[in-house]
Amino acid sequence: MKIRHVQDGIFTPVEDIEKTLLKPEKGFYWIDANLEDLVVLQPLFGMHDLAVEDCLSEEEQRPKIEVHDTHYFIVINSIRFDDEEIFLRALNIFLGPHYIITVTRQKINELRSLKPVLWEQEVDRPDRFLYHLVDLVVDSYFLSATGSRRGSRSLRKIF
């Protein structure tokens, strides 16, 4: 699990997860987690049981947004195009008032591509982080679709 304080697009590592429970004076916290980290994160952030269950599910999740008391739970699918096949990779997101938690099973290229965008745009709110992340993921759909005719047909099946 990587924890960062994000202020004006600048990332500062945070060692203590407890610090993220309180709203920072400026900026927000980004917690980039894997499935095993949910054991720690769920009780701390009051993550809904069904949202955590969706993260842990082996089945492909449809894109969705759920509203819970303290946060939103969002699922979007990143696309990877390999050898004439398209692979979906779930990107699970918990959006709170002063944090965003991304949970993935595999590495998601868009998360790595996001850092320079956040810096350039001087992002200091989790909702703006989400906006730029979704923008990158959706842009990747069209890049994958242009990869081949077969890729385009496979992509049409998804939509």
Crossing angle, helix 49-56 and helix 38-45, to 10 degrees?
160
Most confident of 70-84, 85-99, 132-146: 85-99
Average pLDDT over residues 5-33: 96
Q: Say yes or no to pLDDT of 90 above 60.
A: yes
Give CA–CA dist 3/100, Å, rounded.
10
Q: For the segment 108-124, what is each residue's pLDDT rounded down to a tens digit?
A: 778 888 888 999 999 99
Q: Is 94 helix (H, G, I), strand (E, B) or coil?
A: strand
For residue 12, is pLDDT > 50?
yes
How far apart are alpha carbons 58 and 84 in whole angstroms? 23
**pLDDT over threshold 80, residue 144:** no
- The string of pLDDT tens digits covering residues 24-41 is 999 999 999 999 999 999
Over residues 54-61, the mean pLDDT reads 86
Written as six digits, the tokens of 31 are: 């917690």
For the chain, give every domain's residue range.
2-158
How confident is the prediction for the chain on average, in pLDDT? 87
Residue 150 pLDDT greater than 80, yes or no: no
Which single residue is written with the structure tokens 């290229």?
A: 109
If you average pLDDT over residues 74-79, what whole number do you get? 89
Q: Which CATH number fits domain 2-158: 3.40.190.10, 3.30.70.2190, 1.10.3720.10, 3.30.460.20?
A: 3.30.460.20
Cα angle, residue 102 at apex, residues 105 and 87 outer, rounded to 5°: 40
d(CA 105, CA 75): 13
Give the residue carrying structure tokens 């979007």.
Answer: 76
- pTM, rounded to two decimals: 0.86
> Is 90 exceeded by the pLDDT of residue 148?
no
Whole-angstrom Cα distance, residue 66 to residue 121? Answer: 27
